[in-house]
Amino acid sequence: MGFPYLRAPLLPMLLLAVAGCSDGVLAEPTCTEGRSRCVAQVALGSSFGCALLRDRSVWCWGRNDEAQLGYSTTDLCPEELPNGQTRAVACHTFPFQVLGLDRAVAVSAGGAFACALRDDGTVRCWGSNSAGQLGNGLTLPSASPVVARGLSGITAIAAGARHTCAVAAGLVYCWGANDRGQLGQPTTSRQCTVGSETIACEPQPTVIDGVKGVVAISAGASHTCARTVEGIVLCWGDGRYGQSGSGRASAMPGPSPVGVLDGDSFIEGISDVSAGADHTCARNADGVIWCWGRNEQGQLGRAPESAVPERCSGPCSPRPLRVQGLDFRVSAMDAGRDADVDDASVDDAAMDAGAEASVDADRPGDAGVEDADAGDARVGIGVSDAPDVQRVRDDVVAPSMVPRAIASGGSFACAVLDDNTVRCWGDDSSGQLGDGRRVRAPQGAVMVIATPGAASTNPLQGVSSMAGGVDTACALLGDGSLRCWGSNRSGALGIGNTSVQSGPVPVTW
C-alpha cells in the first residue's frame, strides 16, 4: 500500500508551515481561512485518510472498524463483499479531529492504524494493534493516540500494512509485524495473533543494526525502503515480487537492508523514495523515476509483459525500470514515448467517453465527478456534468516539465511535475489515476494504463504534493486545499458520501 512518509529535510519547513511566521518569529499556529484551506500534509491508508492541518491538529476520515480514525463511532457505511453481498462497517465520511493529539508535524496512515510525529520528536499511534504496530508494547487496539515507547528525536515516520518505522539521527527503528522481515531483523522473540495466523512481531521500537545515515523512509504492505544521505536506497522485507530491488525475486523474506541495484551498481543520487503495496518507486534530482517490484497493473510505468517474470507468480521486475513517458525535457517524439500515446487526442477522449458511460451505467448514483466549487479544475471525460473540461494532449507540454515528487499507491503511482500538474500510471479500476474515467476490466482481464503520458487527462493545477492509498489518491494544492479521487469505499475520500470519484473532488470539512 502506498503509505506516505516524511522526509527528514522537510521537517524544518513543515514546522514553519504548520506554525506560521511573523517578522521572523515563530507564531502560534492558526487556520484563519478555515480548515478547507489549512492542510499541510495528507496521508492515505487502507480505505481511510488523515490530514495534518497548519494548526498542528490531525483529522481523519473513512473506514473506522478498528478505530483508525482515532475515535469510536456508531456511523456505518455499506461495503460490498467479493461475493456481491453487502455489509455495514464503521466509518465517518467527513474529516474528524483526532482528540488527545496536539503539536503534530507529520502523519502517516497504515493498513488500519495511523501514527503522528510531534514537534518534540516523539510518536503517537492509534487504531489496530494486532501485531504491535502502535509501538506501545501491547497488542490491543487503541481508539486514542498512544506513545510509541522509547523514541525521541524522531524526524521521519512511515506506516505499513501492519508495521511502522521511524528515523532518528540517521538510525531506523521499526516495530509491528515481522512475518516478512519488514522490521529489518531476521527473527523476533515475540509472536502475535493476527486473525487466524500467528506471526513474528515486535510490539515496541527496535533499532536496525548496521543502518546509518538514513534521512527518509517509506513503508509498503510488508516491505520498507529508506534513502540515505548519500542518495542510495536501502530496502528490506517482502521480496516475492522483487519490491526490495535486490535484483532477484525471492519467496524468502529479506530481513537485512540491501541497496537497490541497477545492473551491478546501486542507483544513486536519489531524492525521493515511495513504497507501494508490492512495488517501489524512486526519483533522482534530475526528475528521472525508477520503479521495481510487482507489475500486474502496470505500476512500474511499463506494460506488464515488458517486466521481468523472474521467479514471480506474475509480472514483476526485481531490478529498477525507468518509467517511460515522463522525460518531457526532450521532444514529444522521443523513443521513450510510444506513438499511440503521443497521438492520444480528443478523438481518443470520445472513445473514453463511451467507456465511461458504460462504467457509470452499472454504478447507480455515481455521476463520475461531483460538482465542485466554481473555478475548480475538474476532469470530465465522458461526464455529463463537466462538459467544459477537455482532455489534455500528452504532447502539449513545456520543455521544463520534469517530476519533482512521487507518491506510490496500492498498485499505481503518481508524479508531481514542476509545473504543478500530476501524471499517474498503473491500476485504474477504481479511478485512482484521476483521469476522469474508471476502467472496469472484463472478468478475468486486467485493464492497464502503463504509460504515465497516457493517463495525463487530469487538468488539476497548483499541486504541491500527493499521497497514494490502496486505491485512492489525494493532491494537496498550494492554497492549502485538498482534492481526492478514486475508490470511496467507507468514505475514504472524505467527501461526505461513498460514491467512486474518477476525478479530483474537494474534501468536505
Each as own residue / partner, the long-range contacts of residues 185-188 (CB below 8 Å, 24 or more positions apart, any chain) are 185/255, 186/255, 186/256, 187/255
Per-residue confidence (pLDDT) for residue 365, from 0 to 100: 33
List, in sequence order, every beta strand (DSSP E) within 64-112.
Answer: 76-80, 86-97, 104-109
Per-residue confidence (pLDDT) for residue 248, from 0 to 100: 83
Per-residue confidence (pLDDT) for residue 20, from 0 to 100: 39
User: Is the confidence at residue 16, as pLDDT, over 70?
Assistant: no
- Going from N- to C-terminal start, the domains of the chain cover 324-509
Alpha-carbon gap, residue 249 to 238, rounded angstroms: 9
The whole model's pTM is what? 0.80
Q: Which residue has the higher pLDDT, 96 or 373?
A: 96
Question: 378-420: per-residue pLDDT in tens?
Answer: 222 222 222 222 233 334 444 457 899 999 999 999 999 898 8
Per-residue confidence (pLDDT) for residue 412, from 0 to 100: 94
> What percent of the chain is predicted at pLDDT more than 90?
53
Q: Report the chain's C-alpha Rg in angstroms.
A: 21
User: Is the confidence at residue 333, as pLDDT, over 80?
Assistant: no
Per-residue confidence (pLDDT) for residue 246, from 0 to 100: 82
> What percent of the chain is predicted at pLDDT more than 70?
73
Per-residue confidence (pLDDT) for residue 310, from 0 to 100: 60
pLDDT band (50, 70, 90) for residue 330: very low
Per-residue confidence (pLDDT) for residue 328, from 0 to 100: 54
Per-residue confidence (pLDDT) for residue 255, from 0 to 100: 64
Grid cell in block for residue 93: 465520511
Question: 247-279: per-residue pLDDT in tens?
Answer: 888 866 776 778 887 777 788 899 999 999 999
Q: In terms of Cα–Cα distance, which of 321, 301, 317 is closest to 309? A: 317
Average pLDDT, the chain: 78
Compute the average pLDDT of residues 279-288: 94
Strand-by-strand arrangement of the 197-207 sheet: 154-159, 163-168, 171-177, 197-207, 190-194
Q: Which residues of 101-112 are buried (b: 16+ CB within 10 A; e: fewer)?
A: bbbbbbbbbbbb
Question: 418-433: per-residue pLDDT in tens?
Answer: 988 888 888 988 989 8
Question: 199-227: per-residue pLDDT in tens?
Answer: 999 999 999 998 999 999 999 999 999 99
Residue where the block lists cell 502517516: 108
Per-residue confidence (pLDDT) for residue 400, from 0 to 100: 58
Phi-psi region of 181 (alpha: psi -120 to 50; beta: other; left: phi over 0): left
Alpha-carbon gap, residue 274 to 254, rounded angstroms: 18
pLDDT band (50, 70, 90) for residue 144: very high
Per-residue confidence (pLDDT) for residue 308, from 0 to 100: 60
Q: Which residue has the higher pLDDT, 226 or 456?
A: 226
User: Is the confidence at residue 18, as pLDDT, over 60?
Assistant: no
Compute the average pLDDT of residues 446-470: 63
Per-residue confidence (pLDDT) for residue 210, from 0 to 100: 86
Compute the average pLDDT of residues 449-459: 42
Q: Which residue has the higher pLDDT, 458 or 378?
A: 458
Per-residue confidence (pLDDT) for residue 265, from 0 to 100: 78
DSSP 141-200: -EEEEEEPTT--SEEEEEE-SSEEEEEETTEEEEEEE-TTSTTS-S--SEEEEETTEEEE
